[in-house]
Structure 1
């Protein structure tokens, strides 16, 4: 990825000083990040800044399994054990499970039962 960023820098004929200015980095930071043997690494924030300064975007990332490494690592992979999760229960189901009855309200106008208003879940 750094090689692509360096090529874009060269295609635009930008100096490291200009990149420092465009990204808001301290003077000399671009040189530390973009040198052949970088002294600093690009983190998520600095990567976003330099991509923006060079008008670049990430279009696609593809992960593929390396069969050779997978063969070496397979014996070290320990599957995680998770407890069986019960499905989430609604407030009405919880009340019924406790032996409580849900309350319905009637309107005086037309004597029609309507369910009570429940507080929002959150």
Structure 2
């Protein structure tokens, strides 16, 4: 128990690690809620067929792979700090596409937004580990 207390004390007092832990916790909380509510939104609000919902949710996996592949290049090009900022801003912008979808026809926006969002979240996580 003393080791856990020492570890928590170290993280809370650390100048760089503490804010990273707070941000990571908030991102994971919001991402979990988004992943749980997106299928409900698609089915109830947009009357999207189950097969399309599956395809849209799977597009997030593709986005994660793309983000993982692009992260080293983006971090070399922009630098880790700038890449984190750009990825965070673009992720927020892409996430806004989801509630803007008004019809099932607009599900392409959600697929694009979901794929971009997952790619950028993957990039943000990987850049944080760099």
Q: TM-score range by the shorter chain?
A: under 0.3
Scaled by the length of structure 2, what TM-score is found? Answer: 0.20
Scaled by the length of structure 1, what TM-score is found? Answer: 0.21
Greater relative CO (CA pairs within 8 A, separation 6+)? 2
Compare CA radii of gyration and give the structure with the larger one. Answer: 1
The structure with more helix, counted as a fraction of residues:
2
